[in-house]
């Protein structure tokens, strides 16, 4: 079935990123997600590309080679949005270089795509995304724009190395308004399946998101069923809040997801288990 990754933020009280990576590997995850960001002292930790030299990158690449896949999450401040495109693009080019150096396959980037766009805005967006697409191709990575709208606009770009990272929990925020044009979360997957390059998976109970799968109100089984229907071949990443999910909860989450996958039967393509 599909590779299950775990986003390294903090695991229990564990902050050291090398220890987190080892824990994730020993816990049986197929892949890992990393933030291209030093994090926040005492709260969570990633890896700062600008403080990681060639030797350190080569060492990290060897560590990550033990996983089937790796996602790099771009810094939260590097959002692609009108008014910040030039600065964000420059920052993201460096993140793509880092991802290529360490052998990642996906770079997730937060974006706020336009709903109505002028000719001038269209030119700015196209110039930015074309540059990012070209660098992603050079680095042999895919860019997943993490959005809750603008899916059709992304598809119409026709850029081979740019698609969507679907955060299933975020689609349920704001009273579920991002879902309204689609119906349910499975309908979203079926509508945008051809642009999906990655998924972030967690649950939402109406108050908190990034909680254990199966403990909230999101139809995650419907998501998996839709992924099978569209022939999705890549991985998905558990993105769990370390303040709300214990290490034991992380382990339960992996087991829960794998059990739901097995219950669906073999995927059309992808990882067999």
Q: What is the mean pLDDT of residues 202-222?
A: 96
Write down the mean pLDDT value for the chain: 94
Question: Is the pLDDT assigned to residue 121 strictly greater than 70?
Answer: no
pLDDT class for 269, splitting at 50, 70, 90? very low
* pLDDT tens digit sequence for 144-185: 999 999 999 999 899 999 999 999 999 999 999 999 999 999
> In the prediction, which pLDDT does 273 show?
41
Percent of the chain with pLDDT over 90: 90
Distance, in Å, from the CA atom of 41 to the CA atom of 188, rounded to the nearest integer, reads 36
pLDDT at 119 over 70: no
Residue 133 near residue 97 (C-beta atoms within 8 A): no
Question: What is the predicted pLDDT for the residue at 99?
Answer: 98
pTM confidence score: 0.94
Residue 124 has a pLDDT of 87
Ranges 89-98, 107-116, 206-215, 243-252: which has the least confidence = 107-116
pLDDT above 60 (res 207) = yes
> Which position has the token pair 């998924």?
199
- Please state, as a whole number, how many other Cβ atoms lie within 10 Å of the Cβ of residue 110: 20
User: pLDDT: is 52 or 272 the higher one?
Assistant: 52
Q: What percent of the chain has pLDDT over 70?
A: 95
pLDDT at residue 128 above 50? yes
3-state secondary structure string across the chain: CCCEEEECCCECCECCHHHHHHHHHHCCCCEEEEECCCEECCCEECCCHHHCCHHHHHHHHHHHCCCCEEEEECCCCCCEECCCHHHHHHHHHHHHHHHHHHCCCEEEEEEECCCCCCHHHHHHHHHHHHHHHHHHHHHCCEEEEECCCCHHHHHHHCCCCEEEEEECCHHHCHHHHHHCCCCCHHHHHHHHHHHEEEEEECEECCCCEEECCCCCCCCHHHHHHHHHHHCCCCCEEECCCCCCCCHHHHHHHHHHHHHHHHHHCCCCCCCCC
Q: Per-residue pLDDT for 78 more than 60?
A: yes
pLDDT at residue 227 in the model: 98
Query: Which domains, ranges and CATH numbers included, belong to the chain?
Result: 4-114+128-263 (3.20.20.150)
Average pLDDT over residues 185-206: 97
Q: Specify the pLDDT at position 83.
A: 87
pLDDT band for position 270 (cuts 50, 70, 90): very low
Cα 176 to chain center, whole Å?
20
Average pLDDT over residues 247-261: 98
């Amino acid at each position: 079935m599909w590779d299950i990754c775990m986003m390294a933020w903090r695991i229990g009280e564990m902050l050291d990123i090398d220890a987190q990576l080892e824990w994730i590997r020993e816990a049986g995850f197929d892949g890992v997600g990393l933030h291209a960001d030093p994090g926040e002292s005492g709260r969570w930790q990633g890896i700062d590309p600008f403080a990681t030299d060639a030797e350190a990158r080569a060492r990290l690449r060897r560590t990550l080679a033990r996983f089937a896949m790796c996602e790099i999450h771009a810094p939260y401040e590097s959002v692609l949005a009108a008014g910040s495109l030039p600065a964000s693009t420059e920052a993201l080019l460096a993140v793509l270089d880092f991802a290529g150096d360490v052998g990642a396959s996906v770079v997730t980037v937060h974006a706020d795509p336009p709903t109505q766009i002028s000719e001038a805005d269209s030119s700015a967006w196209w110039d930015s995304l074309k540059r990012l697409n070209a660098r992603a191709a050079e680095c042999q990575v895919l860019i997943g724009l993490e959005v809750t709208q603008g899916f059709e606009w992304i598809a119409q770009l026709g850029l081979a190395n740019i698609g969507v990272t679907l955060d299933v929990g975020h689609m349920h925020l704001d009273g579920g308004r991002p879902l309204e044009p689609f119906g349910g979360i499975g309908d979203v997957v079926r509508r945008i399946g051809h642009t999906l390059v990655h998924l972030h998976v967690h649950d939402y109970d109406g108050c908190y998101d990034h909680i254990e799968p199966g403990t909230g109100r999101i139809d995650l089984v419907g998501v998996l069923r839709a992924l099978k229907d569209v022939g999705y071949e890549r991985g998905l990443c558990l993105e769990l809040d370390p303040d709300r999910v214990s290490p034991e909860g992380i382990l339960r989450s992996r087991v829960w997801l794998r059990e739901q996958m097995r219950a669906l039967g073999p995927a059309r393509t992808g990882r067999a288990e």
